[in-house]
Amino acid sequence: MSVGLHRYVSGRLRWYTPIAIEPSQTQSSPIRAAVGRNYIPPEMLRLGMSGDSHTAESVTLARLPSGVELTTTVHTYRGAGDGPTLYVQAAQHGREINGTETLRRFHERLSLRSLSGTIIAVPVANPLTFDRVSYTTPEELDSVNPNMNRVWPGEADGSLHQRMAARLWEYVDRADAIVDLHTGSPDMLPHVVFREGDERSRELAAAFGTDLLLSEEAHDDASDEWHRRGFDGKLRVAAANEGIPSITPELAYNKQIVEDAVEIGVAGLLDVCRSLDMLPGDVSERDQTIARNHLGQVSAADSGLFRPRPSLEVGQFVPEGTELGTLYEPTTYEPLQAATTDRDGILYALTKEATVTGGDQLASIAMVREE
């Protein structure tokens, strides 16, 4: 049913000749995106005859100490009809590349002719962590906060991450809904996090369609740990503070492109668009579990090797006191910890990386709120 972008625009490309203009004049309009410092190759700029268009704009996020500019590509899809603006980004944490692959596949499947409104997509929100295949940025480049997802909405004259976030926030601020794509370890059940009590964000999460939805309390309602870990600087939280419905899908896997994870992501984005009336069709009814994000987790009491109980699988309900595995001292075989759950809930993450340091998370349990 969906007409691929490439097929739709074939034969209808309009070519722009680059002309010299001041960098300060380069903005995000389709024509300006093609000229000057932010020159975009013609094959990246596609305009339909009915006013719909796709542009790919090179945007400077910050300047590195060497003077090298840190840039990324911002895609703007304008539909044939009017409608809301959806902002989607991936790879704030650069090893979480299934979000990037999700956006590439979404680009291929999106029909501009069917689209009402505008989608802004940033496949690599943080090129620094992307190149390092890492979660955080080296302290040399941002000693204030090595985790980009703790600094939103950013500051134009702040630390490197704050500047990068502030530049992208210019797009976020104009949006009517936000999807911040993340991924976790292989041993994690795909889920979507939204802010507890935020009904429009809950609807967005439900539309994305994973079996498990996690509500997270914020600000005065949140735990000490939430505040200590700077969770109020997450993009999702900062956007929700501005009244913009926002979700964080957590797809499984890091570093590897995994088909199941990507397909969940693409289907989720298309259904989010349908739920916002940006694409035709209805979001199908689903049997989803809403649970509370349990920030306490089950963590390692000491350093050693952790052997998870082989019979455990993510997604299963575990009563309080369930044994999750054994931590032991690898040279003497001395048992150090019988890791158990301290409450009933759904096991949604269980570490398979056996070498752990005291304090590492071994498992994550979500408390069921409603079926």
Residues of this chain that bind Zn ion (CB under 5 A)? 93, 96, 182
């931590």: which residue's tokens? 327
Asked whether the beta carbons of 181 and 90 are under 8 A apart, the reply is yes
Distance of closest approach, residue 102 Cβ to Zn ion, in angstroms: 13
Distance of closest approach, residue 125 Cβ to Zn ion, in angstroms: 10
Distance CA 218, CA 229 (A): 12
Structure tokens at 41: 């190759």
Cβ proximity to Zn ion, 28 vs 185, nearer residue? 185
Distance CA 120, CA 97 (A): 18
Distance CA 313, CA 218 (A): 29
Q: What angle do CA 350, 353, 354 make, to 5 degrees?
A: 100
Cβ proximity to Zn ion, 201 vs 254, nearer residue? 254
Report the largest interatomic distance among the alpha carbons of the chain, rounded to a whole angstrom.
73
Q: How crowded is residue 336: how many other Cβ atoms within 10 Å of its Cβ?
A: 18
Distance of closest approach, residue 176 Cβ to Zn ion, in angstroms: 23
Cβ proximity to Zn ion, 45 vs 88, nearer residue? 88
Asked whether the beta carbons of 23 and 60 are under 8 A apart, the reply is no
Cβ proximity to Zn ion, 57 vs 96, nearer residue? 96
Distance of closest approach, residue 147 Cβ to Zn ion, in angstroms: 9
Distance CA 367, CA 196 (A): 13
Cβ proximity to Zn ion, 93 vs 150, nearer residue? 93
Cβ proximity to Zn ion, 47 vs 349, nearer residue? 349
Distance of closest approach, residue 149 Cβ to Zn ion, in angstroms: 6
CA atoms within 13 A on the CB side of 102: 33
Distance of closest approach, residue 252 Cβ to Zn ion, in angstroms: 12
Asked whether the beta carbons of 235 and 147 are under 8 A apart, the reply is no
